[in-house]
Amino acid sequence: MTSACGCSAPEPAAPDAGCSLETEPLTPWWRDRSVLIPVASGLALVAGFLLEWFTTAGAAATALFWVALLLGASQFVPGAVRGLVTSGRLGIGLLMTVSAVGAVLLDFVEEAAVLAFLYSIAEALEGRAMDKARSGLRALLGLIPRTATILVGGRPRTVPAESLAVGDMLRLAAGERLATDGVVRAGRSSLNVSAITGESIPVEVGPGDAVPAGAVNTSGVLEVEATAAGTDNSLTTVVTLVEQAQHEKGERARIADRIARPLVPGVLILAIAVAAIGSLLGDPGVWIERALVVLVAASPCALAISVPVTVVSGIGAASRFGVVVKSGAAFERLGTVRHLAVDKTGTLTRNRPTVTAVLTADGVVREDVLRWAAALENHSTHPLAAAITAAAADIPEATAIEETAGRGVTGLVDGATVRVGHPRWLAAGELAARVEELEKQGMTVVIIHRDDVPVGAVGVRDELRAEVTGVVDTLTSEGIGVTMLTGDNTRTARALAADAGITDVRAELRPEDKAHAVKELAPRGPVAMIGDGINDAPALAAADIGIAMGVTGSDAAVESADVAFTGDDLRLIPRALRHARRGHRIINQNIALSLLIILILPPLAITGVLGLAAVVLVHEVAEVIVIINGLRAARSGQPPLGPIAGTSIDTSTEGRQHAGTLSP
């Protein structure tokens, strides 16, 4: 359970610099004591009511109520008392403890048992969600291989990844994943860093280039000098950042706790004052009983149930239109969001590179350029290759294929030598100015040579999702600010942001930089972050609300987020925010009514106007009212999403006025 509940949970272990590569699976709920005990409390409570209503076994019913009370109370009373003694923590857990004790002293064991069960099961479910999130973070470490190949005296040797030290020389063959951070000392290749940065287009590397842990070598052989230990690298740092952020978030008080802090001492002082002063002025027995009635009158029965019933109803309704909220506290915070930080690749974009421009030299036709390029790219696994082959109407046979790692491909097509590669390897010739323009627009450009003569260039980029512009406009109109966070270069990021209607762009960010940027946005109001990649995990955890693209997102992103979309339609963002804001209003209404009851009943109990029976009756009526009001959150009022108005892509132009490439 979270410590935010007012109960004291064991503090999460502080993440250390050297994370172990071992992972601990989450305990199944049927073996989790924190869930089973509240469930047992509920079963005992139901059994007690059944005996009381349908039999004459009053003693047996009372015994079951006691069982339900003790089981439920065991989940929050020790923690509430411990928190009070050790750190002076005053939360709703302590107020529930005081109220349950008062009810028992007045021989209302049933009331105390109901309170204990409701509170313990709510805390158990939220605690379960938090444990699942922490457990899922360790899946990040699965990106690090168990073993690595190092060179000792020029000879390869396989060693455990955990044993790697700074200065070790690693040999990375094609298809292998890098076990720790390092610098390329020999060889050239392309690295797939999509799992780390979100960038779906491989990065070309050569001697002197830094490479991150978790990157996959796509071609050639590299020799990499380790610059970090196997258990202390950029990937383990991501895990540490996420764990720290989630720990800090778990410490934040929920609405009920913030109210309980001043309420708890106030109620206790009031009850003691009634008993002491009344005993001096009149019959001690009468005034001690009135003091106990005051405790029950100030019981947060309605408060304890008003928020959970609203949250559960709201979460259930959200799930029906594709939004999964992982905890009650997350739903509460979602309704307060005033600013949205958004990842680019896979979130704003489709994460599917496509050919968006084809340049041709004089006397060369577009179709031929695509045919020649596709003939060679058909033999490559590079993401750009798939985009180019998909754009070609037909693909001729190519022979004598030779791939230059990190540069391009050469082969014979239609009796001529054809080369396909990036502009830093192949000269663009007369197309240079137009190639530069495409790159300024954010495209990744491939140059095609035929018999050593530049004949064309193909521009590839990732398209914005069709709904992005409309979503940004909607959020802006509703007073929600939008910021793009990306690891891509500034030029590309600004080009895409302009298309999307986003003016605040922060580019060239590492995962830890994204988390820092989210914290910098905090003065603008509660911040939500939406992303889909491992590189987004620290920012998702650091935000007040982390939102993951559940279908396309990585496990790390989903697990570190507070909210997950079951689809990839960004129109879910304003829908989810509106729904949560409505739930937040209902919560405030219920809290206001609950506090009104707490303010009115104690004076009436002190003066003797209301006895215990009347106080209990008022509480029960108030509980019914807040439950009915809370159930309103189950009606989302959200119509089904209609089709997205798509935009056609003109692949025949030599350039476009707007574009953007893939980025993290």
- The token pair at 511 is 């995962």
Going from the C-alpha of 222 to that of each of 156, 191, 213, 216, 233, the distances in angstroms are 13, 10, 14, 11, 19
H or E segment to which residue 72 belongs = helix 58-73
167: left (phi over 0), alpha (psi -120 to 50) or beta: left
- Asked if 308 contacts 331 with a C-beta cutoff of 8 angstroms, the reply is no
DSSP string across 23-55: --PPPPGGG-HHHHHHHHHHHHHHHHHHHHHHS
The residue type of 164 is L
The Cα 59–Cα 140 span in angstroms is 54
DSSP state of 170: E
Would you state the structure tokens that stand for residue 182, as one six-digit string? 């390092």
> Angle CA(76)–CA(79)–CA(85) in degrees, nearest 5?
140
Tokens for 621?
């009526």
Spatial separation of the C-alpha atoms in residues 523 and 532, rounded to whole Å = 25
Residue 622 tokens, joined: 């108030």
State in Å, rounded, how far the first CA of the chain is from the last one: 34
Q: Give the Cβ contact number of residue 617 at 10 Å.
A: 12
d(CA 562, CA 329): 9
Q: DSSP per residue over 558-600, as a string? A: HHH-SEEESS--TTHHHHHHHHHHHHHHHHHHHHHHHHHHHHH
Locus of tokens 């069982």 = 67
- How far apart CA 536 and CA 518 sit, in angstroms, is 11
DSSP string for residues in 301-345: HHHHHHHHHHHHHHHHHHHHTTEEE--HHHHHHHTT--EEEEEST
Cβ neighbors of 60 (< 8 A, separation 6 or more) are 51
Greatest pairwise CA separation for the chain in angstroms: 113
Q: State the Cα torsion 129-135-140-145 to the nearest 10°.
A: -160
Q: Are 142 and 23 in contact (CB under 8 A)?
A: yes
Q: CA-to-CA distance for 328 and 542, rounded, in angstroms?
A: 18
DSSP-assigned beta bridge partners for residue 149 = 158
* DSSP SS3 for 232: strand
**φ, ψ at 274 (rounded to 5°):** -60, -45
Which three-class secondary structure state does DSSP give residue 487? Answer: coil
Q: If we measure between CA atoms, which residue out of 157, 151, 158, 168 comes closest to residue 213?
A: 168
Do residues 406 and 205 touch, judged by C-beta distance below 8 A? yes
| Cα separation, 131 vs 26, whole angstroms | 7
Q: Is 499 a catalytic residue?
A: no
Neighbours of 572 (CB within 10 A): 26
- What values do phi and psi take at 285, rounded to 5? -60, -45
State which amino acid sits at residue 522: A
Q: Which of 661, 645, 326 has its CA nearest to residue 488? A: 661
Find the catalytic residue in 343, 499, 532, 569. 343
Active site residues: 343
